[in-house]
Every structure is written in C-alpha cells, then in structure tokens.
C-alpha cells in the first residue's frame, strides 16, 4: 500500500473525517490509531478533538470518536 500522507494533507483528512455523516449528526466514528499517527499525528489529533469539545477512547488499535459534547462513561 502506498503512503496515504503523500496524497492527503492533514487538513484535508480532518475535514473529511468530520464531514462524515455520523460526525455531522453528532454520532460516533472510528479510525485506526496508526492512520491517525501517520497522517496528522496523535498530538494534533487530540488538540483538534479538544478544540471541538469531542471525546475519544482508544482500544485495540482504534480510536472511537464521539462527535458531540456529551459525557462519555465507561460502564465496565
């Protein structure tokens, strides 16, 4: 597989991520941690989530992103 970074800038990638239907509707989206780190970097990604007031959890190589400002509770 070719390096995605060569084709998609971090700004475009973020715009596409948060333009997804689930994100626009305040839902949940997920992305592979390795893709986030390769394309935009973990720190920049977390800053963008904080700027938007969104939350995320990490599990099994995935970020699960809650595209709303509601409280997130881990139940068990």
Q: Is residue 29 part of a domain?
A: yes
Q: Is residue 20 part of a domain?
A: yes
Residues contacting 18, CB < 8 A, separation 6+: 24, 52, 67
* Phi, psi angles (nearest 5°) of residue 75: -85, -35
Tens of pLDDT, residues 16-61:
999 999 999 999 999 999 999 999 999 999 999 999 999 999 999 9
Report the domain count for the chain.
1
State pTM to two decimals.
0.86
* Phi, psi angles (nearest 5°) of residue 37: -65, -35
**Domain span at residue 39?**
8-66
Q: What DSSP line would sit under 45-64, residue for residue?
A: HHHHHHHHT-EEEEETTEEE
Q: Is residue 30 part of a domain?
A: yes
In this structure, are residues 61 and 33 in contact, taking their beta carbons and an 8 Å threshold?
yes
Q: Does position 11 have pLDDT exceeding 70, yes or no? A: yes
């Amino acid at each position: 597989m070719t390096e995605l970074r060569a084709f998609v800038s971090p700004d475009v990638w973020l715009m596409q991520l948060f333009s997804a239907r689930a994100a626009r509707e305040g839902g949940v989206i997920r992305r592979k941690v390795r893709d986030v780190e390769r394309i935009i970097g973990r720190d920049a990604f977390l800053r963008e989530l904080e700027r938007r007031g969104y939350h995320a959890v990490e599990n099994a190589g995935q970020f699960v992103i809650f595209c709303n400002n509601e409280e997130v509770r881990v139940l068990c």
